[in-house]
Amino acid sequence: MNFSPLVAELMESLRRLPGVGPKSAQRLALHMLQRDRDGARRLASALDAAAERVGYCAECRTLTEEPVCGLCRNPQRDRSLLCVVEWPQDMLSLENSGAYGGLYFILMGRLSPLDGIGPRELGLDMLEARLDAGEVREVIVATSSTVEGETTAHVIGEMCRARGIQATRLAQGVPMGGELEFVDGGTLAHALQGRRPL
């Protein structure tokens, strides 16, 4: 059975979301049309408004409707600490931990020359300008531990060293409550290299 053009277009549009395949898209579309038209209208309105009005913070590059986000404007934040993350959701995870009180810079990815993602695409020129302003004393690099994430961390570390700014890397290793027998070898190797005194 073929769906009408509008229903098919809705399903195809939903497939653009990460993790949504053909069956999930069909289930979501049919649910909204059969059981939740008000929810569908609300979703459409929210998507339209966000697509029109949400941009990037001029300082940290997170998603916001304002030129500078509320976190960057907060006078309580430690402006000498800058945590560099790959994505806005990484920033949110760190914020939810309650353990960090500095500012952020969001790369919107990681270096990947094969995918056409270089320093310009990550806004490293903006990061350099921020480092050159003289306010930042320490940069905490919180990129992923993939090859691309490690390469990105190395480049940022070199940028910091050239300016006499301390660059640190998030510790990686055994998770809280984790059993050693279930931890992979690469994670254990990082944990051993990053050990600290008791």
- List of domains in the chain: 5-53 (1.10.8.420), 77-172 (3.40.1360.10)
Name residue, tokens 């000498």: 80
Query: CB of 143 within 8 A of CB of 107?
Result: yes
Over residues 143-188, the pLDDT tens digits come to: 998 899 999 999 999 999 999 999 999 877 777 777 767 777 777 7
Distance (Å, whole) CA 36 – CA 127: 44
- First-residue to last-residue Cα distance in the chain: 66
Over residues 32-85, the pLDDT tens digits come to: 999 999 999 999 999 999 999 999 999 999 999 999 999 999 999 999 999 999
- The reply to whether the predicted model has a pTM over 0.75 is yes
